[in-house]
Chains A and B, each alone.
Chain A
Amino acid sequence: MNHRFDRRSLLRRGLGWGAGVLLAGRFGQTAHALAAGAVERLNQSARPDLAVVTGDDYAAAATEAVRLLGGMARFVSKGARVAILPNAQRNNPGVYTSPAVVRAVVRMCRAAGAREVNCLTWLPEKNWLDTGLADAVRAEGAKLVLVDMKDPARFRPVPVPRGVALKEAAIMDAFFDHDVLINLPITKDHAGNKFTGTLKNLMGLNAPLNNRTFHRADWQTNPDSIAHLEQCIADLNTVITPTLCLVDATEFIITNGPFGPGELLKRRQVVAGTDRVAIDSYCCTLWGLKPGDIVAIQRAAAHGLGEKDSGRIRRVEKSL
């Protein structure tokens, strides 16, 4: 296989796969419109696929990364309702998205004219308070939307028509009230699959009970069932398409993931883009992993969700 990455055909296919979401709410419709406009502008200006900014001021790095992609106005239109999805798994060092990065993103969204910015989560409020992310979100005028993970009414069944292993997701109902999704993971080690980034972070929108079905009954003894988990992650990504991803690669654990404590690596980077496969393929190399060894990246690429070949990814890097 040696196909040239074709953004227009990828977009068409992506929209087809996202039909479940498109039908389910106005999020998809708006995302469609935004993305179509974005393609036109990309063809004119050949913007990078990835923006990687290194610096000690993580808010400034996040802001510059988005600027290199064309600015937040490219992704957030005036009056848009924006959902953001940081990782607040635990307050151990290198485990949660930097509050400085989150603050910068909320600030950029509001400057672009967003009507509201909501941080969606089914994690308990304690996680957000302990990590400082609750303060960060609220200080910038955004809202922390806490969803009761045990209330099935707060999650909407969503068919996964292209799912190989996952046939139905259970997406947070509040998600469908938004026009834009900004995915804000921290990249780090993961006990099950070695790596977590943009693809896996979307499990934060899916009901925990549904996430548990990603484990087969024999996952403890059958190596193939580990791959099943990765396939489910890739499948989930076929029905949720973030408008923008910013990955916190400033300080993160490279052992004992995903909740730590573990060995900390301080790369001081923020990575931004729209192509989840390209972003994760880059981020895993930050601590010596190979995209070819990360099953979720391979399965997502097989779904056509993005480009895994670094030679075909236009990456711009900048140090502050």
Chain B
Amino acid sequence: MGRPAPGAAAAWATVLLLAVAACSKPPAPAPPSPVAGAARLLPGAGAVPGWEPTDEVQRFSGDDLFLFIDGGADLFLEYGFREVAARAYRGPGGAVINAEIYEMTDPAAAFGVYSVRCGDTGDDAAVGSAARLADYYLTVWQDRYMATFTGLSETPAVRDGLVAIGRAVAGGIAGRAPAPALAAALPAAGQRPGSVRYVRGPVAAANIPLGEAVVPWQAPEAASARYGGTGGHAPATAVTLFLLAYPDAAAAERAFRRVADGGDTVTDTAGILTFTSPPKQPGRAECRGRHVVVAVGGDAAGRGELLGRVNGEQ
């Protein structure tokens, strides 16, 4: 298996460093604020017309998240979790909505867990920085908060209530941080709406489309999106593009070499690695500075074209 020529590697690194200058180092959690607390965001009595709290606020922080969502805490802890506050609300006809507000360590962590939990279900909603409304639930991201609002029944009144409570919560959040730079660095042209994911570990990676393909890369930070089927700049068949970030170029190079040496891979003279990912999808990867770009699925032309476009757009 060949390695990239030194000159080519340096060129790639230069291009990518310039291109993703906005991509910061793996984010360090912000220090806890003494006034932090998801509980303060939960609407009290009379705050949302037609919907009243039915019980006390439940709060769990740190590893105690297991007590609240035993079996589901891993995903949040992997991203960086600070606290959850939960409360139920009763509305028209006795309908019930569960509200849960997760305060994460930083906005990127909140965006990440939001991106994974939204999946492909539902429609965009005008709540917070980003929101998705599905049949009976609403998922919202704003700053370092990810919130879910769940109706225990599916009626128009409940859907209206989800949005009303969601807006009341989002309105109490002062910050409005942008999406993580790594996610923003993914090519926009041909990107399927709502397909961007941001992950920080294997639990999240295992819960996104074709994420198994990048688990072996053990990147501390990654973003992905799907391309294809929408015409324009999209590949003819669907391709998932991953942008993996490491602390430095040496770490990226080590990860690249480890995967390349792991078997069932071929590296050509230009330093492009081809492989078959765990779900038997063809993949193609290149190491560029402290990043690795991986394209999975679709056909070879689509993968190659998309990798090339990462450079062009960046």
Residues of chain A touching chain B, judged by Cβ–Cβ distance below 8 Å, are 89-93, 130, 149, 190-192, 194, 196, 200, 203, 208, 211-212, 215, 219-223, 226, 255-264
A205 to B261, CA, bound (A): 43
CB distance from A219 to the nearest CB of B (A): 7
Q: Does B264 count as interface, using CB distance less than 8 angstroms?
A: no
A94 closest partner in B (C-beta): B136
CB distance from B262 to the nearest CB of A (A): 12
Q: Which listed residue (B66, B136, B220) contacts A208, Cβ 8 A?
A: B66
A192 touches B203 (CB 8 A): yes
A257 closest partner in B (C-beta): B72
Q: Does B28 count as interface, using CB distance less than 8 angstroms?
A: no
A192 touches B136 (CB 8 A): no
B148 closest partner in A (C-beta): A261
B78 closest partner in A (C-beta): A220
Known: A255-B121, A263-B121. A221 touches B71 (CB 8 A): no
A91 closest partner in B (C-beta): B152
Mask: chain B, 215-228; 1 = CB below 8 Å from A; 0 = not: 11010100000000
Q: Does B274 count as interface, using CB distance less than 8 angstroms?
A: no
B203 touches A208 (CB 8 A): no
With most chain B CB atoms within 10 A of its CB, the pick from A91, A203, A256 is A256
A211 to B121, CA, bound (A): 31
Chain B interface residue count, Cβ-Cβ cutoff 8 angstroms: 32
Known: A92-B98, A226-B206, A261-B137. A211 touches B70 (CB 8 A): yes
- Give me 14 A-to-B residue pairs in the complex whose CB atoms sit less than 8 angstroms apart, sorted by A's number: A90-B98, A92-B150, A190-B71, A208-B70, A212-B63, A220-B77, A220-B78, A220-B201, A222-B202, A223-B202, A258-B72, A259-B69, A261-B137, A263-B134
Residues on the A chain within 8 Å of B207, using CB: 191
Residues of chain B touching chain A, judged by Cβ–Cβ distance below 8 Å, are 63, 66-67, 69-72, 74-75, 77-78, 88, 98, 117, 119, 121, 134-137, 148, 150, 152, 201-203, 206-207, 215-216, 218, 220
CB distance from A280 to the nearest CB of B (A): 16
A190 closest partner in B (C-beta): B71
A221 touches B201 (CB 8 A): yes
B71 touches A192 (CB 8 A): yes
Apart from A212-B66, A221-B202, A226-B206, what 7 extra A-B contacts exist at CB < 8 Å? A89-B69, A92-B137, A93-B152, A215-B74, A222-B202, A256-B117, A261-B150
Q: Which listed residue (B136, B206, B215) contacts A261, Cβ 8 A?
A: B136
Complex A-B, nearest 6 residue pairs according to Cβ-Cβ distance, in ascending order: A261-B137, A261-B150, A258-B71, A259-B72, A259-B69, A191-B75
B135 touches A256 (CB 8 A): no
Known: A221-B202, A226-B206, A259-B72. A264 touches B119 (CB 8 A): no
B136 touches A93 (CB 8 A): yes
B279 closest partner in A (C-beta): A293
A258 to B75, CA, bound (A): 11
Question: How many contacts between A and B, using CB within 8 angstroms?
Answer: 84
A204 closest partner in B (C-beta): B70
Residues on the A chain within 8 Å of B70, using CB: 89, 208, 211
Residues on the A chain within 8 Å of B148, using CB: 261
A261 to B72, CA, bound (A): 12
Q: Which listed residue (B75, B136, B206, B218) contacts A194, Cβ 8 A?
A: B206
Residues on the B chain within 8 Å of A263, using CB: 119, 121, 134
A226 touches B203 (CB 8 A): yes
Residues on the A chain within 8 Å of B135, using CB: 264
Residues on the A chain within 8 Å of B134, using CB: 261, 263
B135 closest partner in A (C-beta): A264
CB distance from A7 to the nearest CB of B (A): 32
A191 to B207, CA, bound (A): 7
A221 touches B218 (CB 8 A): yes
Q: Which listed residue (A91, A93, A149, A259) contacts B71, Cβ 8 A?
A: A259
Residues on the A chain within 8 Å of B218, using CB: 221, 223
Residues on the A chain within 8 Å of B74, using CB: 191-192, 215, 219
A220 touches B69 (CB 8 A): no
A260 to B135, CA, bound (A): 13
A194 closest partner in B (C-beta): B206
A89 touches B150 (CB 8 A): no
Q: Which listed residue (A91, A149, A190, A200) contacts B98, Cβ 8 A?
A: A91
A255 to B134, CA, bound (A): 12
A87 closest partner in B (C-beta): B71
With most chain B CB atoms within 10 A of its CB, the pick from A208, A222, A226 is A226
Residues on the B chain within 8 Å of A255, using CB: 117, 119, 121
CB distance from B119 to the nearest CB of A (A): 5
A200 to B121, CA, bound (A): 26
CB distance from A185 to the nearest CB of B (A): 12
A59 to B170, CA, bound (A): 41
Residues on the B chain within 8 Å of A190, using CB: 71-72
CB distance from B279 to the nearest CB of A (A): 9
Residues on the B chain within 8 Å of A211, using CB: 70
A229 closest partner in B (C-beta): B74
Residues on the B chain within 8 Å of A203, using CB: 71
